[in-house]
Structure formats: C-alpha cells, structure tokens
Structure 1
Amino acid sequence: MNMKLIGSALIVAGTALGAGMLAIPMVLAQFGLLWGTLLMLVIWLGTTYAALLLLEVSIKSGGGLGMNTIARKTLGKGGQVVTNGLLYALLVCLLMAYIIGAGDLVKKMTTGLGLELSMVQSQIIFTLIAGAVVAAGTAVVDKLNRVLFAIMVVVLALTLMSLMPSMSFEHLFEATNNDKVDLIKTSSVLFTSFGFMVVIPSLVTYNGEATHKQLRNMVVVGSVIPLACYLLWLYAVVGNLSPEQLVKFSNVSELIVALGERFTSIQVILSGFTGLALLTSFLGVAMALFDQNADTFKQNRAVTYVLTFILPLAGALWAADQFLSVLGYAGFILVFLAIFVPMAMTIKVRSSERLTFVEQETVAECYQAGGGQLALGLSFMFGCFLLAAQLI
C-alpha cells in the first residue's frame, strides 16, 4: 500500500471538501433529489475529466512542475501570462475566503476558552500557523492532512448516524421548484465544491516515483470521495428538513442551528466539521500557491512564505465580511483555469509535431486521458455551460 498516493488522494479530496459542502442542501433541495443528484454527477464528471487533462499535461511536460512552467512549455509566453494571472487570482480569492471563515472560527474557539481576540488577530494567527505548515513542504501537508481528513470522516459519520434514523422519505421526493434555469444557476456552487485541480502539479512532483496509472487513480479516487460525501450529506439533511425550510435559510449557520434544535449534539459536531473542512481546503490551496511562487520566483522558503500569504491575508483583512462574494469571484475564474486552460494545453501537446519537452520515444508511454476529440468537445461544452450558469 503506497501511503504517499493515499495521502495525495486525500489532499485532492480535502481541497474539494470545503465548507461549501454544508450549503449544498440549501441550494439543491428545492429541485428534488433526482435533478440535484443528476446535476452533481454531471459537474463531478466534467471536473474530473478536466483534472485528468491537467494530469496528462503535467506528465508530458516533464513531470509535475508548477502551472507557471507547464503553461510556458505548452502555451508559450502569452499562455504563461494568462495562466499565471488566472491562477493567482483564483488562489488568492480562495485563500482570502478561507482566512475569513477560519478567522471567525478561531475567534469563537478562543472566546470559548476565555481568550478574547479580535477578528484581525484571529485571521493573522491562523494564517501564520497554517502557512508555516504549508511552507514546511508537501510531505508535512500530506501527513497532517491524513490526520485531519480521518477526523473529518469520523465527524461526518457521526453526523450522518445522528440524522439517518429520523429521515423522512417523503422529504426525499419533494420538489418545490421545477424551474430548470434556477437549477442551472446552482452549478456554480457545485463546481466550486469540486475545485481540486490546483493541487495536481504539486502532487505529481511529490509522487515522482509513481506510475501514470497510479497517478490517474489518485485523481479519480480523490474526486470520488467528496462526491460520496456531498450526496450522503444532501440525502441526510433533506430527509430531516423539508425543502420549504431549507430554501428559507440565508447562510450555513442557520442550517446548523435548525439541525441543532432537533439534535442537541449536532451543532457542536457540525461546527467542528466546518473548521476541519476549511483547514483541509486551506492547506491544499495554499500548497498550490506556495509551489507556484517557488516555481515562478525561485526564492528560498522564507521569501516564498511571505509572497504566498501576504496578499491573501491583506485581502481578508480588507474584505472581512465578504466570504460568499469572494467565493463567487473564485468560481468564475475557476471555469477558465480548470476547464479551458487544461484543454488548450492538451490540444497543444497532442497536436505538436515536435515535442521539445518530452523525448519522442517516451511519448507513447505517457498517460493520456481517454475519449479523444469527442471528450475534448464535450469538455468545451461543459465549460460553456458553467459560464452560462455563472452569467445567468
């Protein structure tokens, strides 16, 4: 059993499993579980295939380099500039959102311990400590993430066991909204919930001795875990709260309070899950930005640490109450970076007559995502669908 590959799959899963998971029942319940499940499966399939395209490009461009080098080798200087701009915008937005959310949790936790911290102090403390873990290297993030993910799975299992006995099957088949345009609008929330592709270049480097089949399985398994968690959570919540109740909630806190009124211990459990989900997502995204900065600026770890966290922290302090707005911007950027950029890289790699970045005799041995031109065309349509959902 390769623990590095298992740990890497958990990093993929942990990066996807953010606190947005808790909001999924609120946006999907009104459309009924059949349509909600189908849409989630479509989003999962599209994002996983795009991630496999990025895996292919990472391997063919000489091993898991940062997106900076991969873009330069496949798309040239212009593509490198565009990719870097999109990646930095995405990662900074995500880290800002996670710092804002984590700062609030740190403040509540320290208040419970009798220590009064301001929001600014809470955000700074969280960023400095969690950032130091990321700066210690992928191996440290891997080991810590295994522990955090195991705890998160236990917490989720306890929550599901608390909710399952009281589920009402009548709620599972209720639908209060049959407007498919409204259903499509929820795609942006679901898509952001599968935003794990940013860690793939780092993990290919980390698993340099792994076979291409093992790397493919790492990505697929890592994406299946959050899919299963999202669906189980959706069914458990909708089975206990009616769609009419769920659609009235304006934020996750109201959902947790509503469940807490029925199950006394679940409020504490869900708060713990939210904190763990934020932390695992922060570690994955911060690792991607740290490695990107290391690849771009070629500085020592101390300088890279400052370059990685100074802008997200400053943005979080400036936009302290804009958690959902920042995530919305991140979702729009993610469509281009997670779908269209890997597709462009793949087309360039496959159509290039002279592959200057991989020895010609090794090309046949390199991993290639299946599906050919048809799958690429469907992936392009998927990206257009997501853009339309964002702009409606």
Structure 2
Amino acid sequence: MNLKLVGSSLIIAGTALGAGMLAIPMVLAQFGLLWGTLLMLVIWLGTTYAALLLLEASIKSGGGLGMNTIARKTLGKGGQLVTNGLLYALLVCLLMAYIIGAGDLVKKMLHGVGIEMSMMQTQILFTLVAGVVVASGTAAIDKVNRLLFAVMVVVLGITLFSLVPTMSFEHLLDAASNDKVELIKTSSVLFTSFGFMVVIPSLVTYNKGASHRDLRNMVIVGSVIPLACYLLWLYAVVGNLTPEQLVKFSNVSELIAALGTRFSGIQVILSTFTGLALLTSFLGVAMALFDQNADTFKQNKAVTYVLTFIFPLVGALWAADQFLSVLGYAGFILVFLAIFVPMAMTMKLRSFEKQKSAGHEVLAEAYQAGGGSIAMGLSFVFGCFLIGAQLV
C-alpha cells in the first residue's frame, strides 16, 4: 500500500470536508431524501470529473507545477492572469473564512480551560501555528492530516452510532417542500462542500513517482469519502428529525441542540468534528496557496509564508463576523476556477496533441479523462447550471 497516495486521498477528502457538512441536512432535508441524494450525486459527479480534467492538465503540462505555470503553458499569459486572479481570490476567501471559524473555536476552547484571549489574538495564534505546519511541506501536512482525519472518522462514527438507535424510517421519504427552484438554489452549498480541486497540482508534485492510474484513483477515492460522509450524516439526521423541524432551524447550533435531546454528548462530539473539519480544510487550502506563491514568486520559505498568510489574516481580522458571507463569495469564484478553467486547459492541450504542434511540452502517453467531447459538453452545462443556481 502506497501511504503517500492514501494520505493524498485523505488531503483531498479533508479539504472538502468542512464545517458546511453540518448544514447539509438543513438545506436538503425539506426536499426529501430522494431529491436531496440525487442532487448531491450530480454535484459530486460534475465536480469529480472537473477535478480529473485538472489532473489531466497538470500531468500533460509536465507535472510538478502550480496552477500559475499550468495556466501559462496551456492558456497563455492572458489565461495565466485570469487563473491567478480567480485562484488567489478563492484561496484568500476560503482561508479568511477558516481563520474566522477556527479563531472562534480556539477562543471557546481556551475559555473552557480558564485562558481568556480576544478573537483577534486567537485568530493570529491559530494562523501562526497552523501556518508552520503548511510551510513544513506537503509531507508534513500529509502526516498531520492523516492523524486529524482518523480522529474525524472516529468522531463521525461515534455520532452516527449514537443516532442510529433513535432513527425512525417514518420520515425518511417525507418532503416538506416540492419547490424545485429552491432545491436548485442549494446546489451552491453542495458544490462548495466538494471544493477540493485546488490541492491537485500540489498532490501531483508530491506523488512524482505514481502512475497516472494511481493519481486518477487518488482523486476518485478522495472525492468518494466526503460523499459517503455527507450521505450518512444526512440520513442519520433526517431519521431523527422531521423535515418540518429542520426547516425551522436558522443555524447549525440549533440543529446540534435538537439532536442533543436524543443523545446528551452530541454537542461536544459535533463541536470536535467541526473543529477538525475546519483544520483539515485550512491545511489543504493553505497548502494550495503556499505552493502557488512558491511557484509564482520563487522566494524562500520565510517570504512565501508571509505572502501566504498575511492577506487572509488581515482579511479575517477585518471581517471577523462574516464567515458565511465570505464562503458565499468563495463558492461563486469556485465555479469558474473548478469547472471552466480546467476545461479550457484540457481543450487546449488536446488540441495541441491533435495538431502535434512543436514547441509545446506535452507528454505523449499522458493521462486523459474519459468521456471525450460528450463529457466535456456535459461539464460545461454543469458549470452553467451552478452559475444559474447562484443567480436564480
């Protein structure tokens, strides 16, 4: 067993598994499990295929490259500028949101042991400490993430095991709403929950000796893990609460409190899971931004460390109470970066291969995502669907 590939799949899964997982039952349960499950499968399939397109672009461009260089090789300077702008906006927004959420969590944890710190202090503390792990390299992130993910799986298992005895199959197929427009609006929440593609170039670099088949499986396995977690969590919550109850909740805290009436320890367990989910997501996103800065600016680790964390930290301190708003902006940017940019890259590379143009560094026997032009067309429709879901 290749532990680097296993760890890489867990980095993908950990990046996707954010605190938004807890909100999924609140946005989907009112439409019934059938429609909720179908929509989640569509989002997962579209996102995973787009990730495989980015994998193809990364491999064919030579591997060991960041998005900056891949974009320059495939889309030219104009495409490089657009890609970098989208990527920086996305990663900074995500890191801002995670720093805000983690700062609040650290503040509460320290308060529980008698240490009082301000929100600003806890955000700075978290960023500095977690940033050291990121600056240590992908191998260090891999090892830390394996441990964190193992604890997350145990915590989720305890939660599901605790909720199963009180589950009722009576409400599993109930739907409080048949409004399909409102159902489509939830696509942005689900799509952001599968936002792992930013780590792929870094993982291709990390697994230099891996075969193309291994890299493909790494992406697929990494995306299947959060899908399974989301579906199990959705079924467990809907089995314990009615759709009418879930619709009335205005935040995750109310959901956790309602589940607490069924199992007394659920609040501590889910708070632990939320903290771990934030941390694994932070590590994955920060790794992507760190490697992007290293690829773009070609500076030493100390300078790259400052470039990576100064803007997200300042932004988090400035917008300390805007966690959900910042995530909303990130979700809109992610559509363009995760769907349309990889599509443009692979179309250009495939065109180079057909023309057998000279002067382009394209691997002759490189990996290619399946499906051909039909799958590419469906991916374009998927991207348009996601934009429509956020604008409707």
The interval holding the TM-score normalised by the smaller chain is over 0.9
Q: Within 5 Å, which residues of 2 pair with 1:90-101?
A: 90-101=90-101
Q: Which residue number in structure 1 is paired with residue 254 of structure 2?
A: 254
For 1:231 and 1:316, locate their aligned partners in 2 and report how far apart those are by CA, in whole Å: 31
For 1:107 and 1:257, locate their aligned partners in 2 and report how far apart those are by CA, in whole Å: 20
Which digits, 9 at most, give the CA deviation of each residue in 1:191-248, with x for residues without a partner? 0000000000000000000000000000000000000000000000010011111111
Structure 2 counterpart SS, 1:239: helix
Identity of aligned pairs, percent? Answer: 83
Q: Within 5 Å, which residues of 2 pair with 1:1-392?
A: 1-352=1-352, 353=355, 354=357, 356-358=359-361, 362-363=363-364, 365-392=365-392
Which digits, 9 at most, give the CA deviation of each residue in 1:41-65, with x for residues without a partner? 0000000000000000000001131
Specify the code of the residue in structure 1 equivalent to 2:279. Answer: L
> How far apart are 1:261 and its partner, in Å?
2.5
Structure 2 counterpart SS, 1:105: helix
Structure 2 counterpart SS, 1:320: coil
For 1:164 and 1:81, locate their aligned partners in 2 and report how far apart those are by CA, in whole Å: 50
For 1:258 and 1:310, locate their aligned partners in 2 and report how far apart those are by CA, in whole Å: 39
For 1:108 and 1:253, locate their aligned partners in 2 and report how far apart those are by CA, in whole Å: 14
> How far apart are 1:356 and its partner, in Å?
3.2
TM-score, normalised relative to structure 2:
0.98
> How far apart are 1:154 and its partner, in Å?
0.3
For 2:361 and 2:85, locate their aligned partners in 1 and report how far apart those are by CA, in whole Å: 26
For 2:94 and 2:249, locate their aligned partners in 1 and report how far apart those are by CA, in whole Å: 23
> How far apart are 1:355 and its partner, in Å?
5.7
The answer as to whether partners of 1:60 and 1:357 remain within 8 angstroms in 2 is: no
Specify the code of the residue in structure 1 equivalent to 2:170. Answer: E
> How far apart are 1:262 and its partner, in Å?
2.2
For 2:318 and 2:86, locate their aligned partners in 1 and report how far apart those are by CA, in whole Å: 21
> How far apart are 1:358 and its partner, in Å?
2.8
For 1:307 and 1:260, locate their aligned partners in 2 and report how far apart those are by CA, in whole Å: 42
Which digits, 9 at most, give the CA deviation of each residue in 1:20-75, with x for residues without a partner? 00000000000000000000000000000000000000000011310000000000
Cα 1:203–1:284 shift into 2, 3 Å: same
TM-score, normalised relative to structure 1:
0.98
For 2:171 and 2:127, locate their aligned partners in 1 and report how far apart those are by CA, in whole Å: 41
For 1:252 and 1:357, locate their aligned partners in 2 and report how far apart those are by CA, in whole Å: 50
> How far apart are 1:263 and its partner, in Å?
1.0
> How far apart are 1:171 and its partner, in Å?
1.4
> How far apart are 1:256 and its partner, in Å?
1.1
For structure 2, the 5+ residue unaligned runs are: none
For 2:202 and 2:78, locate their aligned partners in 1 and report how far apart those are by CA, in whole Å: 23
For structure 1, the 5+ residue unaligned runs are: none
Q: What is the root-mean-square deviation of aligned Cα atoms in Å?
A: 0.7
